[in-house]
């Protein structure tokens, strides 16, 4: 009986499986890289969507902060201030007001007082705060997906080593390097998004506290009013609305 060498046995085994080691290596590499590119394209689409949503939240917050600033720094009647609100902010404000008036008498009394504007701004600002928390949660999830993917590929690399599949290691390393490069790019987007979201949340906290104090009858200090104007500066659009 002809005794096959280890090398000959491997060649026959590979042939029966559909090709040589080189053939398997090429097909595996092509399939894995194609899969990697598809995954990365999907990641970038998610990141772009997250950044767009963050931008929309920043724009909405700008309008909410302007409305809060007007309530806190103006002695005009509430009706005059709501006329200067952007349509989306005014709609949300009136919905909160109508909803709150159907609640307890104590809440209704507050809403019908001079401080009704600042009182309603508190839940509006909290709502914006939650939106930015959602932005961070989505960014964290995407960051974890990218990290998990690299870990999975590295674990497969170690498994190939244990199984003696040395002919697949070089190609697997290329896939790992590709995922790592993309992860680094994604991480830069992640850091920028986190920085922006945390910055906006810090502004919300400060203005929300000011609104809560004003609703409780506490007059803001000159320093607080100055800080408020820095947080919510009067934009060209805001100035134009004041002249209406």
Identify the sign of the CA torsion 131, 137, 138, 143.
positive
- CA-to-CA distance for 12 and 9, rounded, in angstroms? 5
Identify the sign of the CA torsion 53, 54, 55, 59.
positive
- CA-to-CA distance for 107 and 142, rounded, in angstroms? 41
For the chain, which residues score pLDDT lower than 70?
1-29, 74-86, 88-90, 93, 97-116, 234-244
Numbers of helices and strands, H then E, in the chain: 9, 0
- CA-to-CA distance for 129 and 136, rounded, in angstroms? 11
CA-wise closest residue to 15 among 6, 25, 24: 24
Name the pTM for this structure.
0.72
């Amino acid at each position: 009986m002809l005794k096959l060498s280890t090398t000959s046995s491997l060649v026959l085994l590979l042939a029966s499986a559909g090709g040589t080691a080189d053939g398997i290596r090429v097909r595996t590499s092509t399939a894995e890289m194609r899969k990697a590119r598809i995954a990365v394209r999907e990641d970038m689409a998610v990141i772009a969507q997250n950044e767009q949503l963050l931008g929309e939240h920043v724009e909405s917050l700008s309008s909410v902060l302007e409305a809060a600033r007007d309530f806190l720094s103006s002695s005009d009647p509430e009706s005059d201030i709501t006329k200067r609100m952007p349509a989306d902010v005014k709609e949300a404000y009136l919905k909160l007001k109508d909803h709150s008036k159907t609640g307890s008498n104590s809440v209704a009394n507050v809403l019908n007082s001079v401080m009704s504007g600042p009182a309603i701004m508190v839940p509006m600002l909290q709502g914006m705060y939650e939106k930015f928390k959602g932005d961070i949660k989505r960014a964290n999830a995407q960051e974890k997906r990218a990290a998990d993917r690299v870990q999975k590929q590295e674990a497969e690399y170690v498994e190939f080593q244990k199984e003696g599949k040395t002919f697949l290691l070089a190609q697997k390393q290329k896939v790992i390097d590709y995922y790592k490069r993309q992860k680094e790019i994604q991480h830069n987007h992640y850091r920028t998004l986190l920085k922006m979201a945390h910055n906006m949340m810090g502004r919300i906290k400060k203005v929300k506290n000011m609104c809560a104090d004003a609703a409780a009858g506490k007059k803001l200090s000159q320093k607080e009013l100055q800080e408020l104007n820095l947080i919510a500066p009067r934009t060209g659009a805001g100035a134009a609305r004041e002249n209406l």
